[in-house]
Structure formats: structure tokens, C-alpha cells
């Protein structure tokens, strides 16, 4: 039952993913959550997030921001990175993910998702049938409803860790700085 919430990979940070490796494997679209994935909750795009998005666009990726937030918050972040976005996406419902792929012109097999929450981001990506990468949240300060979900996530991650151990694969991957 908990497998619905398991990511394909668990990374320490969105900034430590080897995106070039995914490009070489045929991935062409990346769907990103914003808050606590690329920047702290509610923060504007910073130099690191802008540089990452620019690098990914140069590599050849289509990028889309998928957020349950309202448009003013998403637009504020997007003004600096200039990619496509969907706000009020209804995650974990799969409709937003499918619309994102349609907008980017990618398919399930060529798209992956990067986010920080199991019960919205990862579950939604799995519902949509796309590869998912869970990242550790950037900031510990979060809204109360997210804090409550984090307690449940900890339980699910204990079982995910056991599954990884049984399969002989890394639980939390550190990755390396992107160049």
C-alpha cells in the first residue's frame, strides 16, 4: 500500500541531481515543484534556482513548474526563470501532470518530476505514470498542514528505506554539485 508514495529516487537536493545523465537516457521534460524543492516556501527565485533552470534549458530540457499555489506566487517565481507553469494544479491528482506533459510536448517515458512531498508531489507523479525524484525539503519552517504530513511521510520513508535495503540500492543519494 505504501508503495504508491515511494519515489523512484530520493536525493538530498534538486541541485545535486545529475540532469545530464537523465538527458542522455532520453528524458526531455522536467516538472518541478517550487516551494521547498527549488527555494524555501514562498521565496522568489534565487541565483541558484535561476542558474539551474538556465542550465537545464541550455541542455535541451523542457521545464514546467507545477504548483498547488495560486498564480501570484507561481508567477513571482517564474518571472525570474521564464518557463511554463501550472498553478492550482490539484496535486496529487494526475490531471496537472498530464497537462504539464502536453504543454511541454513530452510523454510519460521522457518526463520526470522533482518535488519534496510524498503525499502530493510523488504520489501525483506516480499516479500519472512518470519517474519521480523526491528531494529533502530546503527549509524546516513550513505551514502547519505540511508539518502534519511530514510526520506521516517519516513513517512511509522508514518502509521505503527498508525496501531499498532489501533491494541493495541507496536510500538517500547525495549526488554532486551540477556544473
Burial group, residue 150, by CB count within 10 angstroms (0-12, 13-18, 19+): middle
> Could you give the dihedral angle defined by the CA atoms of residues 61, 91, 89 and 71, in that order, rounded to the nearest 10 degrees?
-90
User: In the chain, where do the E strands start and end?
Assistant: 9-11, 29-32, 62-66, 84-86, 111-115, 131-135
Structural domains of the chain, with CATH: 2-167 (3.40.50.1000)
Q: Is the peptide bond before 92 cis (omega within 30 degrees of 0)?
A: yes
State mean pLDDT over 115-137.
Answer: 95
CA 48 distance to own-chain centroid: 16
- pLDDT value, residue 178: 59
Average pLDDT over residues 109-126: 96
With a cut of 90, say whether residue 162 has pLDDT above it.
no
Is this model's pTM higher than 0.85 or not?
Answer: yes
Residue-wise pLDDT tens digits, 25-52:
999 999 999 999 999 999 999 999 999 9
Q: Which residue has the cell 537536493?
A: 13
Residue 145 pLDDT more than 80?
Answer: no
| Grid cell of 70 as nine digits | 495560486
Amino acid at each position: 500500500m505504501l508503495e504508491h508514495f515511494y519515489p523512484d529516487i530520493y536525493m538530498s537536493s534538486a541541485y545535486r541531481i545529475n540532469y545530464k545523465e537523465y538527458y542522455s537516457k532520453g528524458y526531455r521534460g522536467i516538472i518541478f515543484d517550487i516551494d521547498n524543492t527549488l527555494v524555501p516556501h514562498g521565496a522568489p527565485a534565487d541565483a541558484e534556482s535561476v542558474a539551474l533552470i538556465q542550465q537545464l534549458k541550455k541542455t535541451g530540457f523542457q521545464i514546467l513548474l507545477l504548483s498547488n499555489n495560486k498564480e501570484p506566487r507561481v508567477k513571482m517565481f517564474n518571472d525570474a526563470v521564464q518557463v511554463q507553469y501550472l498553478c492550482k494544479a490539484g496535486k496529487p491528482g494526475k490531471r496537472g501532470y498530464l497537462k504539464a506533459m502536453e504543454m511541454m510536448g513530452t510523454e510519460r517515458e521522457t518526463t520526470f518530476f522533482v518535488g519534496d512531498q510524498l503525499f502530493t508531489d510523488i504520489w501525483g507523479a506516480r499516479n500519472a505514470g512518470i519517474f519521480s525524484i523526491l528531494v529533502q525539503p530546503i527549509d524546516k519552517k513550513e505551514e502547519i498542514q505540511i508539518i502534519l504530513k511530514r510526520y506521516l511521510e517519516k513513517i512511509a520513508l522508514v518502509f521505503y528505506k527498508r525496501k531499498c535495503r532489501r533491494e541493495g540500492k541507496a536510500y538517500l543519494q547525495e549526488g554532486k554539485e551540477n556544473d
